[in-house]
Structure formats: C-alpha cells, structure tokens
Structure 1
C-alpha cells in the first residue's frame, strides 16, 4: 500500500459555492468591523468598560490584587491578562492599565498605581517592569457579587477558562469615567461626570421613570473633568444629553493678578481635559516669538504635584483683555465633541442621557435579581440543613444510637434517611456533626440562626416578587456608594457670553497698509510715525527687495472691511486686521497668502466699505482714461476668489477708485499734469462687467494718475504730488466744470525737476498726509505745510526723495487720528 499523499488535483471538494467577490468582500469587511466594534473599541453601556479594561480588572480580581492587598508588578498583571484573557500584545494592555491609574485621565481612577504613570505634559509611563499596581477601592465595586451568578461568563480565547461578558458594576461607570475610542466607521467620546450627580440622577429615574432629560439635568449639571476647568454655556450640554451628540466648549481656569505697578499677569490653574500642558506652554511661546500674541514678557510653567500653575507675565502698558482673549481663542479653550456611543446588546447605539441611565438600571435590575436568586437558593439550602439539625437534636439519643451501631458513614447516612426521614443532604451533614455541637448553647444558636435564615428567605423572596422592592435595593446600594466615594465637583459651568471671535481680539486702531509691486503687504499703527515738516526725508516704513517697489499706502481702521481693487479690474474683500501687522523695517507678507491673486495681478486701490451709504456708487478710472460708475450694492457679496469690478481693454489698467453719491464732480489728473473736471452723471451707471466711457482725452503717452470726487461747495484743495517729491495745493474751485472727454486744464508743471504726477488727493488745511516712496521711506506731515498756489505752477518740495527713489503713494489721514507725537 502506497504511503504517498494523494495529488491535490485528484481530490474533489465536497461542495463548491460560487459567490460574487463584491459580496464576499462586503461580508468579510462587515465581520471585521463588528469584531473591532464589539471586541475592542467601544464600551458596554452596562459597565462602561471595553474588553481590555474589563479583562485587566478581572485578572486582578482573580490574582487577589485588590485594594487591600499589596501592590504587584504591572508586568505581572499585564502577563496574566494577556496569557489568560486578552491575547493582543502587552503594549495595549499596559497602556490601558496606565490610563486607569492616571488621575488626570480618569475622573475616578480604577487602578491604584505606584511609580511613574506619566504626566499631563505627555510624559509616558515607566516600563511595566518598573511600576506596580492594584485595584482601586472603587474598582472593586464594579466586581461586587461577581461570584453570585450575577452576570454571564463566556469561554476565554483558548477555551481553558471562563471570563465575564460584563461586570456587575454597582455604579454607572460609563457616565462616571466616560470613554473614548475609534472603531471602524464610528467613534465614541463620552465625557466623565461627577459620581454623586450621576447616582442622584439614576435614583431620580428609578423613582420617576417618566423623568425627562431636563429633570435629570437638575442632578447632572454637566461633565465633570478630572482636570477641572470650565464648561462654557449650558445649551451644548443639553444638546449632548438630549441627542447623544454635542460640542462642549471647555475653557481653562485662570485669573488676572496685578504683580507690579501697571503690570498684570495671567495665572492658569486648570486646563481643558486631555490637553497636553507642555505643548500648551510651547505653543503659547511660539505665538509670542512669531508676533501672533503681543504684550507678553515672560512665560513660566510653575506646576508641581499639587496642581497646574502656568504664569503669563505681561509687559508694562499691555492690554490685558486683548492678551487674555488671544490666549482664549488660540490656546485656553477647546471643544469636546460628545458622541455618547456604546454597545447595547452587542450593537452600537447613540444614547441620550436618559437612555444611558435606563440601560444601566436594566442591567442592575438583572444583577440584583440574579444575586437574590443565588442568595435565596443558598439560604434555602442552609435552612434545609438547619431544619435537619434541629430535628436531630430533638431525637438525639436515637440518632446517636443509629450512628454508633452503623458499620460506616454510608450505612449511618442511609439509616438516617430511612429511619427518620432526613434528606440526603441533611443526613450527610448530621453524620459529619461533631459531638460539641450537641450542647444546649449550640441548640439555641441553631434556633437563632434558623430564624435569621427564614427572615433572609422572606426578604429575598419579597425582592423577587416585588419590583418596587428590588428597585429600592438598587437605590440603597447606589446611595451607599455615593456616601463612600462622592466628592466635590471639579468642573464649573459658566455662562456663554458669546463666542470669542477673531475680531473681538483685535484692538481698534488706525493703521497704515503698505503694498508693493511684488504684492507684499503689511499694516503698521499710524502712531508709529510722528508728523514732520514739509521737505523731510521721512523714516523707513518698509524694507523692500532690490527689484521691488512700494505702490500704495492707505490708512484704515483694523475693523474696517476693505474692497481691494487690482490693476486687472478684479475686486476682493477682506478685513483690515487680516493683513498682518509688522514692524517698520519688515518687508510684509505676500498678498497671495491673503487674497487669491492671479499672476501679474497687483493691488492698485482700496476702498473702505464703511464709506458706503444708500444709493452710492463705486467710481473707477483706468490708465487709458476710461471712467465707470457701478452701484455700491453690486459689491455686497464678494467671493474669496474675487469678482469683476470692470472690464479692461488690452494694455489698460485700473488706476484709482472713489465712492460717489450721484451729485459729485469728478476730477481726473494725468501723469503729465493735466486735469479735467466734469459732472459724474455724464458717466452713466453701468454693471460690473462694463468697460465704462471716456473720461479724459490723453495726448501722446500720457496716462491717468488719479481720481478725486468733489462738489461745487467743496472748500478743499486739490493736492498734486509728483514722483520727485514736489507738490502743491490748489483750491478745487479753480478747476471749472467741463464736458466729459476733453483735454482738460494744466494743473502742475511736470518738467524734469518735478517728474510725472503720481498722486491726486482732496485735502483740507487741517488734514494730515502720509507720503511713501518706492524704496520704503515714509513721511507723515500736515497739509497746511504745503503751499496753496494757483494752477499751472511748479509747486514746492514735499518730501526729500533720494536719487533713484520716487514718490509712490499719498493718502489723507482721517481727522480723528491722534496728532500727538508718540512716546
């Protein structure tokens, strides 16, 4: 007979099934997902534990590592758990054990750790061989009565042992300690709560099954995090309890102290749950170094074993409210996303607060019922034995004679059953009785014990027969646990006075916005620049690159909405504070990081939308002399990618923009010093996509330099400044109104000394000006410093421009800007 194995190709399969690979993949993935969901990632609603935590506690229970025993090496606990119940590697088991021992992770730690179990700074725990652990007293309450058939057991992974499917859980651990985990396609994030509050709510629901979430919230005020801090607002808490999902804002606890004259410090004593303290301090320091948060002089972490203490010292004169709000927006406030997802009968389910407590009460009802049945069976067995002993005492002489005359124990036991009617259990017990138990004192004790057992049987029977009494037992046991372990609430709930927005954190101040040809942009406080006399050189206002030049300087308030017009006829909208604030010598930040500019697109004009009123127009002029008016409301909804403000012919560019009201005259000035004034209504209002109409007839290579809106009663002067730093003021009344599209009148002589005109502004004598050169020099002066002369003159030196430099832009400061020199 051949011993060779048969050729596999000759062996026929018993059955062959044809399945679609999509169906097989789908079913296999579902099986895998459910394995992760039920076997690892999600807690059971009844005891609030995931399998790994349940197995760790049960292993410690079996090892006798209770709160009353000595500590055992964590590696020993991990080894027992891994070897007997959880064959998934020692690292995840130890990580779970460590978390159950961390008082900053668990509201009520279930493991009493000894050694280095990590810190709020993210420091890892020492290796398992260096730390020791035992069960915390509260953890034993989760296992109370586990030996009384209160819960079901299942075979362990290799069928050698039995492990519990759930723990009896004498308190609602799911809510008390919370849970978090990520399964396949779902996740859970349940916050911890105060033990006493949860127990009170559970008792309330037992007494009043019709209680609403609002009723339960009379007891459960909200989550109670181990690290304290504050929950902002109650609406989010109610939403989370009502629906099972919600977003709760958690804010650090801090106070402002005056530690030196005119200097405050912010002391942080509690931080949001699960926030890494060391990284928090590090991120604050980074923001200070990068200029995101100003006014901080020193930052220290003075935390110790007694608690958190982070000290933020402020500079003299710093605005404490602004620094505090910046810290709140970026660092001291976090959102805790509540997802109250747990396993109910092995299936994941999002639960409300009431449903969670109802499931727990149902579990405890089953535990108490099974425990009562177990205790009742034992009590009845004991009563049966006691009845036999008492009966034997009544006929003790006959019993002793029968036993003495029997050959062995079996014959004595049989004789007792047959002669006197004892049961098998009673006979066996009587045979094992000692002679000392026949005294009168023993008989009295038996009588007393029998009465006690009968009382116990009656009590247990009443529990099983009376639902309200069973629920009363649950309530009493919950109250006993509350009396034993309750503590004060750590997390406070403060009123929501409104979300801190980024705008709230920005102080309102007048700033200068500077833009360059290469689209670098920044803002600087106007107060950085003191007024100077006419003809000064100014000071450095921007460090431009060698091949770049300043194109525009513009004054705005940090809270203004700005319409930013580009040379290509596009318009964008942004808040002034979105432009980064930088020092005088900084180059600025690329505008492409703020606005979605196309290649070659440059900002040429900015309009403050606060200037808009009803029935107003955005009036634009191009380099080739076209004028267009568009109603202001067409610029109300501007996309982040910008919208078209004007259509341009090839080679043309948008130069300047004014806001008009339909009653203005328009004054257009050119680089060669010509001006024309005409009624704005001569340029009819058009849509955004229109090109516009001719405004001024240009000669040769002349081009438009600027636009001014004025009225017949306007007593201001037209300020014209040339590239070489010369300029003059001429009363606007000297510019007579003409028809649109004429050559205009001579405004200023633009010979070699002056250079081309670069800016036109309408100014009053008390106005202040900001003049900026292409190389970044900036000068603040008063309009009254510049002479008022007639048209067709040379003007005077306004700014001393160095060789190779030129005036780039001029802007008029608003009258409310502080004119005092800065300190």
Structure 2
C-alpha cells in the first residue's frame, strides 16, 4: 500500500527537515561546549582512542576513520578539514588538537598534508571539555546506527563558545563568533557570579574585545565594540603591525586568516599598474624564527611611510573587517543571536546544571558505597555466623537478609568478598572509609542545597582553569585613524612633463618643459600637432574635432624617446573625429573654449575630465565649426579675452563677460556678419586670455605687431561686438600671442 502526498506538502516537509538538520546538527555551535557536532565527535573519538595530551601521537587517518565509522557518516575530507582547523594555532585561539607533521601554514591554511601522513593527539586545553565526561554530567544519544552512544554535549568547564568562536552557514541563518581571551572571559564570568545583574558596560571592563590568534591590532572604536556586544552582531576591523627598519617598512603581524603571499601579490599588482611609484622593492623574508616578515622598500627617504601604509591598509588585506553574528544553539535547543551578557549568563546556567549533575552523580556513588560499607561492617561484626551461613545454606543471600536485616545489594557485596579479603576485613579500615565518605556526603549535600556554595565552587574552578590555561592577550586594541586610499595624484611623483600629440593621433610624454616638440622623431607622414606642459601626476585632456574631451593620466603615457602610442588604443572617438588639442592644468584652473564661429565659454579643467573611453561632449560645435586652441585663463575677474577674425577684426572683452559653463556652446564673443559666416568667408582664427598689463602680439605671416596700452584699449568693447579692424598689413592674422 503506497501513500500519496501533494508535491507541495512533500517538498515543504523535506526542506524543513533538511533545514533543521543543517541548523541543529551541522553548522551552528552549541552554547554549552562551543562545538559543532563534527568537532564534538572528533574530540570524543580521540578521547576514546586514548589520544590525550600525555599519550603518543597517532595517525590522523585512524581518528577520522573512527569518527566516520562510529559517529559521523559523512565525507572524510570534510571531517579531516574540521580536525585540521582545530589543530592550527593560527586558526584556533586555543587549539584542541595537537598535530605532528604538515598541518598547513598561515600563508596557506589548506596546504596541510593528507591524513595518512599526519599524526595527532588532543591538546592539554581539550581536557577542559572532557574532564567531567564520565561523571554523569551530560546526556547520551545513540549514534547513527544505534550500536554506540555518544555525548549530546561535552561538559565544558569554560565558555569555549567565546574562547574559540566559530563560523558557519546554515539555512536562513549564519554564525560568526570571534575568539576571546580566556582570562578576560573568566573574569567576566566571575563578575556575573558576584553580581548577576551586571550590565554589558561592566562586563566590558574585563572583556576589552575579541582576541584573535594573531598579534595584529584591533582598531575598531570602543563604541562600536560596545554596540556589537550589546546587539550580538557587528564587525571587527584588524590592521597589520609594522615598524621601520632603516628606510624599509617591515610588516610583522597580519590580520586573522590573511595570507602574506596574497598581500604581496596585491601590492605587486599596484606596482605593475604604476599605482605605487614610491615603492621600489617588495620581498618576503618570513622564516621559522619570523613567521611573518614582509619588507617594503620605498623609492627614497622622502616618502611618507605612515601615509603609504594608510594607503596599503585601505587597498590590500593588510586591514580587514570581520563580521560578527553571535548566533548559537542555546540550552533549550533553539538557535538565536545572543549578546555578550546573554551568552555568559546562559553559559553559567549550563555550567551550574553540569556541576549539579556531577555532584549528584558523585553523591549517588558515595551513598551506594556507604550502603555497602554498612553491610560489610555487619559482616565483620558477625564474621563467624556469616561464614557458617555461606557454608551450610544452598541460598545464603535470603538467609543473610533475613538474619541481619540487610539489603539485597549489601548481601551481594558480602557474598562477592574473596576469602583472602575476609582476613583483611578490619573494622578500623572500614570505619575510616565510612567516616571519609560521610564527610564527603555531607559536603556534597551542602553544595547541592546551597546555591551560594555552588556558586563558590564554580568560581573556584573557573579561577583554577584560568590559572592553568590562561594566557596574555595577543591582539592589542589600539585606536587608529581610518585608512584611506591616496588620491592617484598623491601617489605619483610630481615631475615636469611635456605631453606631445601628433596630427595622426599618437601621444607621448617627455620629461621636462624644455623640450622642442617639433624636433622630435615622428612616423612617416606624421608631424607635430599639439603640446601641453604639466606635471607627471596630473591628467591630460585631449580634445577632438567634434568638441569631445577625453582624460588620460600623464604618468601612463609612453616615453618621448619612442614615437608614442595611438590614442585609438585608449579611446573610442566618433567616426572621422581627429584629436587636435592636448591640455594640462590643475582641476580648478579655467580654460577658454571658443569655436571658429565666435561662440565660447569658460570652464574649469575638471569639467573636461572624463572617465569613459568614449569621452564626454564638452563643446557643442555647429556644422562647419572648428574648436580653436583652448587657452588657460589666470583670472576670470581681471583678465581680458582677445579674439581676432580672418578679416582682421580684433575685439578685446573682459573675461568676466564670458559665461562660465561646464559644457555647451557658449555665448557669442565676437560678431561676424551672417552672410560671411554662412559662406565661410570669415571666421575666428585665434583667441587668447590676456592679463591686465600684458602685451598682445599680432602675427600676420612673417610680420607681427605689438599692441599695448592705449593702442590695445582701442579694441576694447562689449562681448558680441564686431571689434575694430587692425591696421593694413596686419589684417591677415595667423595667430595671437601674449607677451608679459
């Protein structure tokens, strides 16, 4: 007979079952012992194999085989990886497994040898979890096939869930619990035992923050740590430690789970991309004596090392942030995110229950032994009669029970005595043991009947374990300024360069400003087009014949010793567009953009910059119009703008009359009759920005005329006017030039 279920009901039940299994039996640690099931089974299986800290190491494959065969029917590689994690001192704050062989390195945690090669045993600290296991402290469950029993929890004497932390991803929830310092956590527990209503701020006087198995600095502000502990979630930021040796930077401690080789690769990538010109060399000097020693050599002693490191903290794994989500399974078997106080209070409740069960188990053992001792004393006082009953009776037990008024257990204990022990059965020895056990009984009962005395016992045991297993904090908590990547220009050396653009669109950069661009070597059929003077840490703006602008970093350009690179490899310009102008300047510097039709505006250098390969439409050019050479404007308030047409009309206007725009067509600077514009008979041939006391040089072929003072002011007028005609012989103007 088959059962039919709707697919929706079946899938819902199957997924919920799977979800609960993953949450409760795989991914989340229990608040009691701080372990996931696979970790708990590994530790228990090793203890069953006798692999204590005092024993010899045994092959890890033997442990993994026992775990899989007896308790955890899953993959051997996953089980072994969980075991490796508990053995790595750079992964676990207080390792539970003592490994021998290759167990991986902090540089590559997964470089461990196969389990058939490595050997292992439990660490001394693992005794914290196993010490009270056989004392009635925990419940036992059948294993997966019902042939063996395994502990549901381990009776941890310390809050291991906070000491070693843990991470895991379940279904619909995850956990990320950071490790902490044993002494600090114990001190917080002692505070709660003395003052159960202590608030988080009081606990944080003892627990300063997480304590990772690395000496890298925790730079999270104290307020953020307080918020994290109050909510049970947040983040922790760690930063590598470094010091200066000579002129070198030496990195000695990396953040938790950070690979030194990866950090070196991240820095090397920036160096290859010319984003770290102040770094000349990079090397790894790590060895057995110095597990982490990364050396960065600056290019010169003028480099600000602190500023360089702040950039590296922001751009590499030398500084990392770790998510905190204190999600764990509680005593009630339910997963929940707990804050610091809730975690410690609940663990202390677990510890109280564990100690109570241990005391009750021991009390039961003591009472059982006292009961037997009472029977043995009866036998001692009536030894001859006991021997006679045993010798003559076929069923001596009921006869003894009836004769001496003893219990079945006492009678069985008497019958189990060996003959040679009868001679030793001295009343003094029995009464001494009885007195000792009665004292222990009274002590145990007083503990069980007094919560205060029970708390004192828990307090003493916590202090004892802190003394035995505690150590100093490894991760210092230090307030640091926030790391931020340096601006690209700040990272680059500031050297004078001359950027040269050819008519065929090839670009290159020469060091210095004393370069004659026209004397450089050009490809056959190519020649000089435009040049710009600036610094190597500045941007270069390229303007094409359609009015689009494009940006390039000057330091990325090829050397002028060659013939350069084609701009088509950098940008995607419109069809038939030609690169005509190269500009360099500061972001806030003003430039005058004017078309051959006489329209123009003033914009800042930053307005022309583009982040895309296709550039940006900066100047709107009408059909047939050309963009004249852009001119730098020193002051938009005090300078003058001089514009001259092909017919020899010169107009001088105040720069303040020219509109300031980020992009566009602009306003008319100089007027040209529409008919002449339409026919192309007349156009604007040159514009310059003229400081107030400067001279204007008008070039007409090989002749030139210098205008200054009153002669220059004759051409001063309002924007949009026709201007005044230059003297005969100078009307065929080729260009204007400023002479200071």
Normalization by structure 2: what TM-score?
A: 0.83
Report how far residue 705 of structure 1 moved: 6.3
**Which of 97, 102, 120 is equivalent to 1:133?**
120
1:59 alignment counterpart: 45
Q: How does 1:448-487 map to 2 (within 5 A)?
A: 448-487=432-471
- Counterpart secondary structure, 2:125: helix
- Structure 2 distance, partners of 1:509, 1:153, is 72
Report how far residue 478 of structure 1 moved: 1.8
Change (3 A) 1:611 1:111: same
**Which of 701, 712, 717 is equivalent to 1:735?**
712
Report how far residue 309 of structure 1 moved: 2.0
Change (3 A) 1:347 1:679: same
- Counterpart secondary structure, 1:446: helix
- Counterpart secondary structure, 2:38: helix
1:788 alignment counterpart: none
For the 8 Å contact 1:54–1:166, the answer to whether it is kept is yes
Q: How does 1:579-618 map to 2 (within 5 A)?
A: 584-585=559-560, 608-610=586-588
- Counterpart secondary structure, 1:492: coil
- Counterpart secondary structure, 1:120: coil
- The answer as to 2:70 corresponding to 1:95 is no
For the 8 Å contact 1:556–1:608, the answer to whether it is kept is no
Report how far residue 429 of structure 1 moved: 0.9
Change (3 A) 1:200 1:538: farther
Q: How does 1:332-731 map to 2 (within 5 A)?
A: 332-344=318-330, 345-407=332-394, 411-434=395-418, 442-503=426-487, 506=491, 509=494, 514=499, 528-529=511-512, 531=514, 553=532, 555=534, 584-585=559-560, 608-610=586-588, 620-628=593-601, 648-650=621-623, 652=625, 656=630, 658=633, 661=636, 665-668=640-643, 675-680=650-655, 692-693=667-668, 695-697=670-672, 700=680, 704=684, 707-710=687-690, 714-718=692-696, 731=708
Change (3 A) 1:690 1:252: same
**Which of 76, 84, 88 is equivalent to 2:62?**
76
**Which of 36, 42, 56 is equivalent to 1:50?**
36
Deviations 1:118-157 (A, max 9, x none): 1123161111111111111111211221222322222222
For the 8 Å contact 2:378–2:404, the answer to whether it is kept is no
Report how far residue 183 of structure 1 moved: 2.9
For the 8 Å contact 1:672–1:756, the answer to whether it is kept is no
For the 8 Å contact 1:677–1:744, the answer to whether it is kept is no
- The answer as to 2:159 corresponding to 1:172 is yes
Change (3 A) 1:509 1:244: farther
For the 8 Å contact 1:563–1:608, the answer to whether it is kept is no
Q: How does 1:724-763 map to 2 (within 5 A)?
A: 731=708, 734-736=711-713, 737-739=716-718, 740-742=720-722, 757=735
RMSD (CA atoms): 4.5
- Structure 2 distance, partners of 1:386, 1:290, is 85
1:300 alignment counterpart: 283
For the 8 Å contact 1:191–1:223, the answer to whether it is kept is yes
Deviations 1:598-620 (A, max 9, x none): 886978767745459xxxxx865
**Which of 181, 192, 195 is equivalent to 2:179?**
192
Change (3 A) 1:378 1:623: farther
- Mean Cα displacement is larger for which, 214-223 or 599-608? 599-608
Deviations 1:367-418 (A, max 9, x none): 11222221121122122222222343344444344334323xxx22212211
1:217 alignment counterpart: 204
2:100 alignment counterpart: 114
Q: How does 1:201-280 map to 2 (within 5 A)?
A: 201-235=188-222, 236-258=224-246, 264-280=247-263
Report how far residue 46 of structure 1 moved: 2.2
For the 8 Å contact 1:149–1:370, the answer to whether it is kept is yes
- Counterpart secondary structure, 1:337: strand
- Mean Cα displacement is larger for which, 435-444 or 58-67? 435-444
- Counterpart secondary structure, 2:138: coil
Report how far residue 682 of structure 1 moved: 5.3
- Counterpart secondary structure, 1:462: helix
Report how far residue 115 of structure 1 moved: 1.0
For the 8 Å contact 2:220–2:238, the answer to whether it is kept is no
- Counterpart secondary structure, 2:651: strand
- Structure 2 distance, partners of 1:346, 1:37, is 11
- Mean Cα displacement is larger for which, 293-302 or 39-48? 293-302
Report how far residue 708 of structure 1 moved: 4.2
- Structure 2 distance, partners of 1:245, 1:566, is 54
For the 8 Å contact 2:41–2:71, the answer to whether it is kept is yes
Normalization by structure 1: what TM-score?
A: 0.75
- Structure 1 distance, partners of 2:166, 2:574, is 49
Change (3 A) 1:445 1:583: farther
Change (3 A) 1:253 1:184: same
For the 8 Å contact 1:101–1:117, the answer to whether it is kept is yes
- Counterpart secondary structure, 1:225: coil
Report how far residue 81 of structure 1 moved: 0.7
- Structure 1 distance, partners of 2:453, 2:242, is 48
- Structure 2 distance, partners of 1:243, 1:390, is 62
- Structure 1 distance, partners of 2:559, 2:84, is 53
- Structure 1 distance, partners of 2:602, 2:724, is 20
1:310 alignment counterpart: 294
Report how far residue 96 of structure 1 moved: 1.2
Deviations 1:511-556 (A, max 9, x none): 65858699999988xxx41647xx786779xx99998986563536
- The answer as to 2:320 corresponding to 1:328 is no
Deviations 1:737-779 (A, max 9, x none): 1242425555999999xx964xx77564xxxxxxxxxxxxxxx
Count of residues in Structure 1 that have an aligned counterpart in Structure 2: 717
Report how far residue 660 of structure 1 moved: 5.8
Change (3 A) 1:207 1:312: same
For the 8 Å contact 1:55–1:85, the answer to whether it is kept is yes
- Structure 1 distance, partners of 2:694, 2:423, is 125
Change (3 A) 1:61 1:440: closer
Deviations 1:147-188 (A, max 9, x none): 223222222222222222221122122221121223334433
- Mean Cα displacement is larger for which, 504-513 or 287-296? 504-513
- Structure 2 distance, partners of 1:428, 1:311, is 77
For the 8 Å contact 1:339–1:350, the answer to whether it is kept is yes
- Structure 2 distance, partners of 1:140, 1:465, is 28
For structure 2, which runs of at least 5 residues remain unmatched after alignment? none
Change (3 A) 1:687 1:116: closer
Deviations 1:425-482 (A, max 9, x none): 1111122234565678842232222222222222222333222332322222222111
**Which of 284, 288, 298 is equivalent to 2:271?**
288
- Counterpart secondary structure, 1:112: strand
For structure 1, which runs of at least 5 residues remain unmatched after alignment? 1-12, 259-263, 613-617, 765-823
